[in-house]
């Protein structure tokens, strides 16, 4: 079992090596650090000439750590409604509790989110590949909502700024009540006192939480 510190080091390495696609990381400053040594002894990392790389085993573990962290962030923001500036701190503590199995439950609960609230991707878990197993969800895409059920917008995930701006212009903002009126041929929903028709692409930017 890794300690919290060790998991965080792995997360940092994931960011540098996998997401930023750096070949390796310079750790000359930390050369004699105990944690690095332990990670190396446990065969999570490989150190050569002060350059550190993730092993396959380390990579898998790092991926899971990052996944837990970002899922925790989503949980705090979307479900528990914790203010953004506290999210990171809270998630850092919480992620270590989300071990195998628990992270899957949270992921299912949240509707397999693709990004954390800061917009960084959440690595896929086994549960995301097999969405059919999903039990009743709390957070879901607007398009998955039943007609005429009352829900609240939990968050927006737009592919680009232009799409985000369109949804903002409509006033479909988080914590606003929403009710889906029609799904075909276009999506029609009611936000506040107004009804809007949008296409599938825009509707898929809106995530909702059942009331």
Partner 1 sequence: MAMDYKGPIEYSIELAVEKICDLLKASYFISKRSVALLLLQDDEEIREIVRKNESDTIDDIQKVVKEAKAHFANPITYELALERQNEVRLIIEKAVKIKKETIELRERLSRLTMNPITGIPILLLVLYWGLYKFVGQFGAGTVVNFLEGTIFEKYLNPFFIKAAAHIVPWRILRELLVGEYGVITLGLRYAVALILPIVTFFFIVFSIIEDTGYLPRLAMLIDRTFKKIGLSGRAVIPMVLGFGCATMATMVTRTLPTKRERIIATILLSLAIPCSAQMGVILALLGGNPKAMLIWAGIVGLIFLFVGYLTSKILPGERPSFYMEVPPLRMPSISNVITKTFARVKWYFIEILPLFLLASIFIWLGVLSHLFDFMVNLLKKPVELIGLPAEASKAFLFGFFRRDYGAAGLYDLNKHGLLNGVQLVVSCVALTLFLPCIAQFLMNVKERGWKTGLGISVFILFFSFSVAFVVNFILTRLGVIL
Beta bridge partners of 165: none
**Distance of closest approach, residue 199 Cβ to partner 1, in angstroms:** 4
* Contact positions with partner 1 (CB under 8 A) in 133-172: 156, 161-171
Kindly tell me the burial class for residue 2, based on how many C-beta atoms sit within 10 Å of its own C-beta (0-12, 13-18, 19 or more): middle
From the list 167, 165, 7, the residue with the least C-alpha distance to 72 is 7
In the chain, the largest separation of any two C-alpha atoms, in whole Å, equals: 64
Q: Is 57 in the site for partner 1 (CB under 8 A)?
A: no
CB 154 within 8 A of CB 207: yes
113 binds partner 1 (CB under 8 A): no
Q: Does 85 contact partner 1 by CB under 8 A? A: yes
For residue 36, state whether it binds partner 1 (rule: CB under 8 A). no
Count of residues that interact with partner 1, criterion CB under 8 A: 35
- How is 79-120 classified by DSSP, letter by letter? IS---HHHHHHHHHHHGGG--TTHHHHHHHHTT--SB-TTSP
Peptide bond into 172 cis (omega under 30): no
CB of 48 to partner 1, least distance (A): 33
Q: Shortest gap between Cβ of 85 and partner 1 (angstroms)?
A: 5
Q: Does 97 bind partner 1 (CB under 8 A)?
A: no
Q: How far is the CB of 169 from partner 1 (least distance, A)?
A: 8
Identify the three-state secondary structure at position 130: coil
Shortest CB 201 distance to partner 1, Å: 6
Of 49, 52, 20, the residue nearest 39 (C-alpha): 52
Site for partner 1 in 172-201 (CB under 8 A): 173-174, 176, 181-182, 184-186, 188, 194-199, 201
Chain residues binding partner 1 by CB under 8 A are: 84-85, 87, 117-119, 156, 161-171, 173-174, 176, 181-182, 184-186, 188, 194-199, 201-202
């Amino acid at each position: 079992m890794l300690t919290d510190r060790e998991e965080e080091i792995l997360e940092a390495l994931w960011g540098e090596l996998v997401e930023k696609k750096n070949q390796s990381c310079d750790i000359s400053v930390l050369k004699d650090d105990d944690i690095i040594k332990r990670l190396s002894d446990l065969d999570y990392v490989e150190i050569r000439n002060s350059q550190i790389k993730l092993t396959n085993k380390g990579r898998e573990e790092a991926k899971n750590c990052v996944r837990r962290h970002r899922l925790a962030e989503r949980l705090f923001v979307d479900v528990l409604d914790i203010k953004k500036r506290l999210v990171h701190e809270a998630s850092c503590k919480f992620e270590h509790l989300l071990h195998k199995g628990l992270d899957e439950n949270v992921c299912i609960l949240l509707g397999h989110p693709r990004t954390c609230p800061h917009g960084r991707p959440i690595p896929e878990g086994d549960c995301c590949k097999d969405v059919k197993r999903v039990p009743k969800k709390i957070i879901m895409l607007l398009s998955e909502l039943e007609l005429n059920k009352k829900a609240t917008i939990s968050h927006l995930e737009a592919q680009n700024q232009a799409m985000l701006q369109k949804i903002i212009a409509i006033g479909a903002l988080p914590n606003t009540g929403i009710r889906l009126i029609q799904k075909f041929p276009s999506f029609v929903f009611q936000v506040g006192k107004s009804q809007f028709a949008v296409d599938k692409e825009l509707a898929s930017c809106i995530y909702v939480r059942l009331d």
